[in-house]
């Protein structure tokens, strides 16, 4: 995996250009706050703008923002952008009280606001700028952000800005004949797995198969394989296998197996012989009993043999650093499997939501959970994770700089990193 190139910020246009690429979409009716470590960017937080009552009395909202940002213990400053306005232009008169309350709350928390902006659909302006030659009415064109040097650099690095997450359902996107073949394979594999539920050997074989699928070389195209996709979907329909696949990707095989054993989910028999689309001897990659992490034999950010509880992994409390490349590979495969549509899409959509939440993208996570619940309204894991997200819980990894997912590098040792 090629490390991302460092990013350099030369002015406010570059900082504002970073926000939609960091979030994955252009925010609207939002407050975005970014922590600073000297001249380096830290964490990015996005929250919905409060309603009219909250704008009139924004103290509670400002305290919430302060509480979230204090999770970044190294922060010594902040940047704030309010996305919203009227007629395409920012509306300082609507949001000025909110901005002042944020300024005061963050100042008292030791994270003073270094700069702030109002961003509308077509214009933007500095929140504290009173120079009409710099910030003329109704503001400076948003096109300046889109034409900025940093925006071009991020596009060159392969970053894209997608549509905002809205929770709309995903329709079937596979060709009809392939979709029918996958669904038939899923049904057949589900029956076979049901006969082997609790089998220790089948459990290990499922994890080995998933590790092999996720271990494909980066950039290698995923060729159609109805039996493979049907098998993977069938495994995600078994909660014990689904959870183990997720834990293995984040924390390694040892933790996935130990957790299942702790819950009494694994037995030695008698069961029919274990099955997968390929015989165990033909599967590439790690075999049962090893770690499925970075390939070094230990989970990322852990000492050899260290085991974490499933709850710790699901909340991002362990391991110290998850295996981000494996989670990214898992997310790509889940995106592919979600195209099956119908109730079977609930599991891959829910797990995609969890990966997004681990990345610190709570809004994206909530959209995936909502899509999963549209596919299967009583899907328990989606309901639980959506409730966790709606309570404002931040993934433990996302709250720690050394563990958080990094889409871009802003290290001044490899680039200027200076904020204009």
Tens of pLDDT, residues 210-243: 999 999 887 788 889 999 999 999 999 999 999 9
Tens of pLDDT, residues 241-265: 999 999 999 999 999 999 999 999 9
Mean pLDDT is lowest, of 138-142, 192-196, 249-253, for: 138-142
Assess whether the previous peptide bond of 315 is cis (omega < 30° from 0).
no
As a whole-number percent, the residues of the chain with pLDDT over 90 amount to: 63
Q: What are the structure tokens assigned to 79, written together?
A: 């940047």
Q: CA of 378: how far to CAs of 40, 167, 315, in Å?
A: 44, 16, 22
| Most confident region among 62-71, 305-314, 345-354, 395-404 by mean pLDDT | 345-354
Widest pairwise Cα distance in the chain: 81
Q: In what order do the strands lie in the sheet with 140-141?
A: 40-48, 30-37, 77-83, 113-119, 123-126, 140-141
Note the pLDDT of residue 217.
Answer: 82
Q: How confident is the model at residue 90 (pLDDT cuts 50, 70, 90)?
A: confident
Note the pLDDT of residue 407.
Answer: 72
Residue 294, SS3 per DSSP? coil
The CA R_g of the chain, rounded to the nearest whole Å, is 23
What b-and-e string marks burial along 152-188, b requiring 16 or more CB atoms within 10 Å of the CB? ebbeeeebebeebbeeeebeeebeeeebebbbebbee
Report DSSP letters for 176-224, one per residue: HHHHHHHHHHHHHHHHHHHHTTTBHHHHHHHHHHHHHHHTSPTT-----
Q: Is the pLDDT of residue 411 over 70?
A: no
Q: Is the pLDDT of residue 80 over 50?
A: yes
Note the pLDDT of residue 193.
Answer: 98
Q: Is the pLDDT of residue 418 over 50?
A: no
Residue 47 bridge partners (DSSP): 31
Span 185-193, mean pLDDT? Answer: 98
Q: How confident is the model at residue 287 (pLDDT cuts 50, 70, 90)?
A: very low
Q: How confident is the model at residue 44 (pLDDT cuts 50, 70, 90)?
A: confident
Q: CA of 280: how far to CAs of 207, 210, 288, in Å?
A: 11, 12, 10
Q: Is the pLDDT of residue 47 over 80?
A: yes
Of 216, 24, 12, 210, nearest in space to 127 by CA: 12
Q: How confident is the model at residue 290 (pLDDT cuts 50, 70, 90)?
A: very low
What pTM was computed for the model? Answer: 0.79
Note the pLDDT of residue 280.
Answer: 53
Q: Indicate if the alpha-carbon torsion angle 7, 10, 14, 16 is positive or negative.
A: positive
Note the pLDDT of residue 308.
Answer: 95
Q: Which residue has the higher pLDDT, 321 or 300?
A: 321
Note the pLDDT of residue 302.
Answer: 44
Q: Which helix (H) or strand (E) holds 35?
A: strand 30-37
Tens of pLDDT, residues 109-137: 999 999 999 999 999 999 988 888 887 88
Q: What are the structure tokens assigned to 275, written together?
A: 């099955």
Note the pLDDT of residue 281.
Answer: 54
Report DSSP letters for 212-277, one per residue: HHHTSPTT------HHHHHHHHHHHTSHHHHHHHHHHHHH-HHHHHHHHHHTT--B--S-PPP--S
How far apart, in whole angstroms, are the C-alpha atoms of residue 233 and residue 345?
A: 8
User: Interhelix angle for 200-214 vs 239-251, to 10°?
Assistant: 50
Residue 162, SS3 per DSSP? strand
Residue 141 bridge partners (DSSP): 123
Q: How far is CA 63 from the centre of its chain?
A: 25
How far apart, in whole angstroms, are the C-alpha atoms of residue 166 and residue 19?
A: 18
Q: Is the pLDDT of residue 21 over 70?
A: yes
Note the pLDDT of residue 395.
Answer: 93
Q: How confident is the model at residue 285 (pLDDT cuts 50, 70, 90)?
A: very low
Domain annotation for the chain: domains and CATH numbers? 12-156 (3.40.140.10), 176-340 (no CATH)
């Amino acid at each position: 995996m090629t490390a991302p190139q460092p990013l350099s910020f030369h002015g406010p246009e570059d900082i504002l250009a970073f926000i939609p690429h960091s979030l994955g979409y252009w925010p609207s009716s939002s407050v975005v706050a970014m922590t600073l470590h000297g001249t380096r960017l830290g964490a990015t937080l996005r929250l919905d703008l409060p309603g009219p009552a909250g704008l009139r009395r924004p103290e509670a909202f400002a305290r919430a923002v302060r509480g979230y940002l204090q999770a970044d213990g190294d922060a010594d400053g902040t940047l704030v952008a309010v996305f919203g306005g009227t007629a395409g232009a920012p509306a300082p008169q609507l949001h000025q009280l909110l901005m002042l309350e944020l300024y005061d709350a963050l100042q008292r928390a030791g994270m003073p606001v270094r700069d702030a902006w109002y961003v509308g659909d077509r214009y933007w302006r500095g929140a504290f700028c009173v120079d009409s030659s710099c910030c003329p009415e109704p503001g400076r064109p948003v096109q300046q952000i889109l034409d900025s040097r940093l925006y071009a650099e991020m596009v060159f690095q392969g970053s894209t800005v997608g549509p905002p997450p809205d929770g709309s359902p995903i329709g079937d996107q596979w060709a009809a004949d392939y979709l029918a073949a996958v669904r038939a394979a899923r049904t057949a594999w589900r029956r076979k797995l049901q006969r082997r539920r609790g089998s220790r050997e089948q459990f290990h074989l499922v994890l080995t198969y998933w590790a092999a699928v996720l271990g494909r070389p980066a950039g290698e195209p995923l060729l159609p394989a109805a039996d493979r996709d049907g098998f993977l979907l069938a495994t995600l329909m078994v909660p014990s296998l689904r959870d183990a696949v997720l834990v293995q990707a984040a924390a390694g095989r040892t933790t996935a197996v130990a957790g299942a054993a702790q819950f009494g989910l694994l037995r030695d028999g008698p069961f029919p012989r274990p099955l997968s689309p390929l015989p165990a001897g033909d599967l590439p990659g790690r075999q049962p009993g090893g770690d499925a992490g970075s390939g070094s034999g230990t989970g990322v950010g852990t000492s050899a043999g260290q085991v974490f509880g499933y709850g710790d992994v699901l909340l991002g409390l362990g391991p110290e650093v998850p295996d981000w490349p494996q989670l990214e590979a898992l997310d790509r495969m889940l995106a592919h499997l979600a195209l099956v549509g119908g109730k079977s899409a609930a599991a891959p959509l829910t797990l995609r939501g969890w990966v997004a939440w681990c990345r610190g993208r709570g809004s994206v996570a909530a959209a995936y959970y909502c899509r999963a619940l549209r596919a299967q309204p009583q899907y328990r894991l989606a309901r639980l994770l959506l409730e966790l997200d709606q309570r404002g819980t931040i993934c433990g990894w996302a709250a720690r700089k050394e563990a958080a997912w990094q889409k871009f590098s802003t290290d001044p040792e490899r680039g200027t990193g200076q904020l204009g």
